[in-house]
Amino acid sequence: MIEASELVDNDFLRQYELKIDDHLAKIEYSLQERKIFLTKLIIPDEINSEAFQNDFLVTVFQDIEERNLSVVPTSPEIAKFVRKNRKYKRMLPVGVRI
């Protein structure tokens, strides 16, 4: 499991970052009002696995939840994650369906 302390919210580049060895996994986002649009998931092939992707997304969603933001997943991979993990559907803004 990924520790929340390892996750970096690089607001200058507008992306969540997680460094594993020499590899950088990231989720690009756009912040508008109280909504965060998760636009792109980038995980290097060397560390990409379904378990890693799931842990990374859980950690990011926990951070977003702590900040009381609504989530709009525009990336297909992130939308698929929300469909599989129904508990995160409550974080979608009113009117957004996945």
pLDDT given at position 65:
95
pLDDT given at position 70:
96
Task: Check if the beta carbon of residue 24 is closer than 8 Å to that of residue 10.
Answer: no
- Domains of the chain plus CATH, in order, are 4-91 (3.40.630.30)
Neighbours of 87 (CB within 10 A): 9
pLDDT given at position 39:
97
pLDDT given at position 94:
84
Chain centroid to CA 80: how far? 12
Per-residue pLDDT for the chain (98 aa), expressed as one digit of tens each?
666 568 999 999 999 999 988 899 999 999 999 999 999 999 999 999 999 999 999 999 999 999 999 999 999 999 999 999 999 999 999 888 77
